[in-house]
Amino acid sequence: MGRKPCCDKHGVKRGAWTPEEDEILIDYIKKNGHGRWRSLPKHAGLLRCGKSCRLRWTNYLRPDIKRGPFTPEEETTIIQLHSMLGNRWAAIASKIPGRTDNEIKNFWNTHLKKRLLGSHQNQQTQWCSVLEPSNVQSKSPSTRHMAQWESARVEAEARLSMESLLLSPASMSKNDCDYFLRIWNSEVGDSFRKMNGQDGVTCQSPISPLSTKFRSGSSLTMQRGPAGTSTSTSTTITSKPKNMEPKSHTAYAQDTMTGSDSSSSYELGYFSDISFRLLLDFQGDNDMGFLQGLAG
């Protein structure tokens, strides 16, 4: 069966756009606006697929597109947003004026990923050794506490995952299911924060890859503490993300620990000290509401 192609590939030009074609497309859109992409090429007199026209317009010809190299600020924003959103390039692009999802995606794949990979390798070694059971006993109290906390968090998320399967989304309120937030805000979380504060230890735990694995079906809110030292994270799982086979949280935990997950492109960020620190530093415009919207 299969889906009908978006356009008849016969008699349709492909490949690089010529300046003449660009001009025709720009002229047409200036006069008539865009939309109805499928019929646009016919009306504009272009031998192109409608999809190709849309892509050309959105990624290249649009007047508000900013060309040229990425600024350090843009770079930082991309890393921060990628830590939270994963490979949701359109969502990331929506927060960076003048940049397209395609451009950001290319920039990530060709520049940032490699850079983060370097620090990821160091960080993963460090973090895995912290969580190694045999090491948990021998490390400092704060390190041990970190491992225990992480373990508890993983467990809570696993339970959350189980319950999300049992409960209908309609019956789940944010407050009911947000174990992690409650634990974090409880004495347990408080003692964890104090422990790290007293020891002068910077928590280098990666932001939960488990939480963000469910990015497509979860809402995420973050609040920074007054001194920027405390961050509370609230994750509400409502459904499985698209393109994702059902998989338990514990399975993700195992994947994460063993590094066996093949979809590792955006996970590099989670284990990267750089991106983690940038994530904690993320101020944006103090409006994280867009994350809620992205939950779908």
Site string for DNA, 15-34 (x = CB under 7 A): xxx-----------------
- Smallest gap, in angstroms, from Cβ of residue 186 to DNA? 34
As measured in angstroms, the least distance from the Cβ of 296 to DNA is 6
Pick the binder of DNA from 74, 75, 95, 111 (CB under 7 A): 111
Residue 58 found at the interface with DNA (CB under 7 A): yes
3 binds DNA (CB under 7 A): yes
- Selected range binding DNA among 55-63, 130-138, 153-161, 267-275, rule: CB under 7 A: 55-63
233 lines the binding site for DNA (CB under 7 A): no
Round to whole Å and give the CA distance between 47 and 110: 32
**Measured between alpha carbons, how far is 6 from 51 in angstroms, rounded to an integer?**
7
**Per-residue exposure over 197-209, b if at least 16 CB sit within 10 Å of its own CB, e if not:** eeeeeebebbbbb
d(CA 272, CA 255): 16
In contact, 91 and 295? CB cutoff 8 Å: no
Which residue among 32, 71, 109, 223 contacts DNA (CB under 7 A)? 109
CB-CB neighbours of 97 under 10 Å: 10
Beta pairing class for 218-224 and 231-237: antiparallel
> Residue 240: which H helix or E strand, with range?
none
Q: Kindly report the CA angle at 92 between 120 and 235, in degrees rounded to 5? A: 75
Q: How far is the CB of 160 from DNA (least distance, A)?
A: 21
Q: Which stretch binds DNA (CB under 7 A): 81-89, 142-150, 248-256, 284-292?
A: 81-89
Contacts with DNA by CB under 7 A lie at 2-6, 9, 13-17, 35-39, 48-52, 54-56, 58-60, 87-91, 101-103, 105-107, 109-111, 242-243, 263, 265, 296
